[in-house]
Amino acid sequence: MEYRIQMGGGSLGLGSRIATEPWTGPSEAARSLPEWELPAGTYRAKDIVREAGTILEAVCVRLGDAAIAEPLLDNLQASLAISGREAVLPFASLALGDETKSEFVLQAQTIGASLARWAREFCAERTGWKRYGEKALGRLVLRSRATLRFGRATGIR
């Protein structure tokens, strides 16, 4: 059944009704698929970037094109920058005329650049592909833990 807005003599269709029954967890078939999790342990920042790189490699395998990693890595680099349209934490204007803040901004810039560089290095080395293999990466299930608590799981299937 389609949702409709009635206005005056006309109406606007908004889409199809979806089932809203409570979600009881992944199906038996979904439970048999490999899931990515950051294994328990102590990590340096570079280790976390290496482990998270597995997700990027899984996306590339699922899309059937390793070249898709480059624009995704460009987006990551832009997000981690301290200025620019995509910057998540645009700190560049924070330091204007303040030496103490300038040091903070320089550190933020160095950290963002390092994280982006490591992500590119691990992607080029195909760390996840070597560790898990193409078949496992292609079947990897990615889910948001927050979504699992509040409703249906989302992810790449």
- The tens-digit pLDDT sequence of the chain (157 residues) is 456 666 667 666 666 655 555 555 556 655 565 666 777 888 899 999 998 898 899 888 888 888 889 999 999 999 999 999 999 888 888 777 777 788 888 899 999 999 999 999 999 999 888 988 998 888 887 665 554 443 444 444 3
Q: Which helix (H) or strand (E) holds 108?
A: helix 99-125
Q: Per the structure block, which two tokens stand in for 3?
A: 């949702």
SS3 content of the chain, % helix, strand, coil (to 5): 55, 10, 35
- What does the domain layout of the chain look like in residue ranges? 27-150
Return the closest-CA partner of residue 150 out of 22, 2, 3. Answer: 22
Q: Per the structure block, which two tokens stand in for 105?
A: 């901004």
Q: Which helix (H) or strand (E) holds 55?
A: helix 45-63
pTM as predicted:
0.66
- Per-residue confidence (pLDDT) for residue 121, from 0 to 100: 95
Q: Which helix (H) or strand (E) holds 6?
A: strand 2-7
108 φ, ψ (degrees, to nearest 5): -60, -40
Residue type, 3: Y
